[in-house]
Amino acid sequence: MPLRRGFQDHFDWPLFVTTAAISVVGVINLYSASSAAGGALRDLYIQQIYWLMLGAGAAVLVAAVDYRHFERYGWVAYGIGITLLVLVFLLAREIRGSQRWIPIGSFSLQPSELMKLFFIVALAKHLHNDPRTEGRTLKDLIIPGLILVFPLMLILAQPDLGTALILVFVFATIMVLTHLKLRSLVTLVVSLAASAPMAWAYLLKDYQRERVTSFLDPEKDILDSGWHAYQAKVAIGSGGLTGKGFLQGTQNQHKFLPDQHSDFPFPVWAEEHGFIGAVVLIMLYLVLVLWGLKIASEAKDRFGAVVAVGVSALIFWQAVINLGMVCGLLPVVGITLPLFSYGGSSVLTIMAGIGLLMNISMRRFHF
């Protein structure tokens, strides 16, 4: 009875409505993106509906369990995530030069997606148990840094640069918002910048370097490594103010846009709905992120606050990087647009994250 009354009295409607709105327009856009593809891709929007329903069920389950239980088992979740990442190298099949998905029947699980939430929960557990209230120094980043390093190295080895970057940005956001000293932050940024040449030489694969060089010089290899970004910008620009109309985008319908259902769904939307439609979608993401930060500010304990910040940062950085790369502002790194791109593991992860936000939002009344 208390749980039922809690759902009825304290249900976070703004969070629910914003999430539902992004999901619905995502399915509509996916219908258009897959309509010109033909074959098995034509029904991707139906599969996306199934994933969203399954994700909604996962969100309800996550929201129903008091989030303090997740704090108690934070290290267990982290260990499960690390184990799954190791299993990738034993069980995953190689697709496009990467090993990221573990086949489970007709479904492929991407452990690096689930690791995003496991990482946030583990980091929140550590910070919750740390009584420090003053600004953190570089020495205080040793344990949080180790929590980051283990999944980061395993994900880079797959290789999956996009997810690795997301983990780094989420980590940085959480640490900055939990009182990292400015001098420590500057030192860390300078150190990372100084290590960039080594990362370029030893961490990045050849195709990843090509994406960066094509970003710096878009005209250099426009028919190969620069093709994705170029066609995306053409689609976005051709949408004008109000767009060409639903199912009327020429770049999409004539199959110029690659990966329009996964990494490049936004150009499809922008071409069909124009600048106005693009702004509406971006505003939905902005509302979702700001509402998540509001939930963090109202959380009754540090664990809940850090988890809410982490989930909000996850959504924010995925949206920013995806939109940045399709607009030609960032190199193409293969990051999906939350709840808008097709993908089972991605949808389940984000929806479970929304469930955590709902959980923390509702239980701020229960302390």
Task: For residue range 337-354, list pLDDT tens digits in order.
Answer: 999 998 888 999 999 999
Q: Please check the confidence at residue 275 and state whether its pLDDT lies above 70.
A: yes
Task: For residue range 124-163, list pLDDT tens digits in order.
Answer: 999 988 766 667 777 888 899 999 999 999 998 888 888 9
Lowest mean pLDDT among 39-53, 131-145, 235-249, 254-268: 131-145
What mean pLDDT comes out for the span 292-318? 95
The predicted structure's pLDDT at residue 324: 92
Q: Write out 208-245 in H/E/C secondary structure.
A: HHHHHHHHHCCCCCCCCCCHHHHHHHHHHHHCCCCCCC
The predicted structure's pLDDT at residue 29: 93
Q: Over pLDDT 90: what percentage of the chain?
A: 49
Q: Residue 27 falls within a domain, yes or no?
A: no
Sign of CA dihedral 198, 201, 202, 203: positive
Task: For residue range 200-212, list pLDDT tens digits in order.
Answer: 666 666 666 666 6
DSSP three-state, residue 257 = coil
The predicted structure's pLDDT at residue 334: 79
- More confident of the two residues 288 and 90: 288
- More confident of the two residues 245 and 43: 245
Q: Tell me how far apart the alpha carbons of residues 132 and 200 are, in angstroms, rounded to a whole number.
A: 36
Q: Residue 272 falls within a domain, yes or no?
A: yes
Q: Kindly indicate the confidence band of residue 268, based on its pLDDT and cuts at 50, 70 and 90.
A: very high
Q: Residue 343 falls within a domain, yes or no?
A: no
Structure-block tokens of residue 356:
């955590």
Helix, strand, coil content of the chain in percent (nearest 5):
70, 5, 25
Mean pLDDT of the chain: 85
Q: Which domain holds residue 146?
A: 74-335
Q: Residue 184 falls within a domain, yes or no?
A: yes
Give first-to-last CA distance, the chain, whole Å: 17
Q: Residue 1 falls within a domain, yes or no?
A: no
In eight-state DSSP terms, residue 98 is B
Domain count, the chain: 1
CB 259 within 8 A of CB 43: no
What mean pLDDT comes out for the span 326-334? 84
Task: For residue range 222-247, list pLDDT tens digits in order.
Answer: 655 667 777 888 888 888 999 898 88
Task: For residue range 6-34, list pLDDT tens digits in order.
Answer: 456 678 899 999 999 999 999 999 998 88
Lowest mean pLDDT among 21-25, 311-315, 327-331: 327-331
CB 261 within 8 A of CB 342: yes
Q: Tell me how far apart the alpha carbons of residues 207 and 334 are, in angstroms, rounded to a whole number.
A: 12
The predicted structure's pLDDT at residue 185: 76
DSSP three-state, residue 317 = helix
Q: Residue 26 falls within a domain, yes or no?
A: no
pTM: 0.91
The predicted structure's pLDDT at residue 1: 41
Q: Residue 307 falls within a domain, yes or no?
A: yes
Q: Residue 256 falls within a domain, yes or no?
A: yes
